[in-house]
Amino acid sequence: MTMKLYFAPGACSLAPHIAASELGIDVDLEQVDIREKKTKSGKDYWSINPKGQVPVLELDNGERFTEAPVILQYLSDQKPAAGLAPASGSAERYRMMEWLNFVGSEMHKTYGPLFRPTTPDEFKKLSREVIGRRLEWLDKQLAGKQYLMGDKFTLADMYMFAVLRWSPGLGIDLSKWPNVKAYADRVGARPKVQEALKAEGLQWPPAA
């Protein structure tokens, strides 16, 4: 089965790109200009995803999935033996979903306003304060752990890494939270993560 991943370099679509790399699933990559809403091949991106956002995973039957946590789980379920997600129905699976939802609702959406030039400075200041509190909490959760779920690397780590990767470019110094910084470095050093980053013209740590 051929799948196509619509992505923008460094966006949250990096997470399913990492998943495909870790799982050894070949996906056709179609780059999207998010501002212009055009794909590299010239398609109108609104016709691909009426939400106008990446990622989108398109199957060979034409079906499309949106939202990073959903695409991550779909990819993982194609190769469950790889162990990137706990077994469906297990308590651990719901713990991982808890993390995916936390990243989506509490991390990803809080970073969002910092990218928009139209966001008022006062609102950006509030966003940074909230991010600081989230990172403080995350730092405590990562004490003594390799990854979010313990010693096991999962889909949740891919999404968390994709979001944390935005920090340096936004002037958020992760070294204030040593466990978070060590965690991001650990994930960023994984060979398949490096492979996905390189394919998008990125690196970890991001270039200054």
Structure tokens at 186: 């650990």
Is this prediction's pTM over 0.85?
Answer: yes
Domain boundary assignment for the chain: 3-82, 91-190
Q: Give 12-60 pLDDT, tens digit per residue.
A: 999 999 999 999 999 999 999 999 999 999 999 999 999 999 999 999 9
* Alpha carbons 153 and 161: distance in angstroms, whole number: 11
The answer to whether residues 156 and 145 touch, using CB atoms and an 8 Å cutoff, is no
Phi, psi (rounded to 5 degrees) for 69: -60, -35
CATH number of the domain located at residue range(s) 91-190 in this protein: 1.20.1050.10
Q: In the prediction, which pLDDT does 162 show?
A: 98
- What is the residue type of 134? R
Q: Identify the CA nearest to 151 among candidates 80, 92, 193.
A: 92
Structure tokens at 156: 């949740």
**CATH fold for the domain made of 3-82:** Glutaredoxin (3.40.30)
Phi, psi (rounded to 5 degrees) for 189: -85, -10
Range 143-160 burial, b when 16+ CB lie within 10 A, else e: eeeebbbeebbbbbbbbb
Q: In the prediction, which pLDDT does 208 show?
A: 62
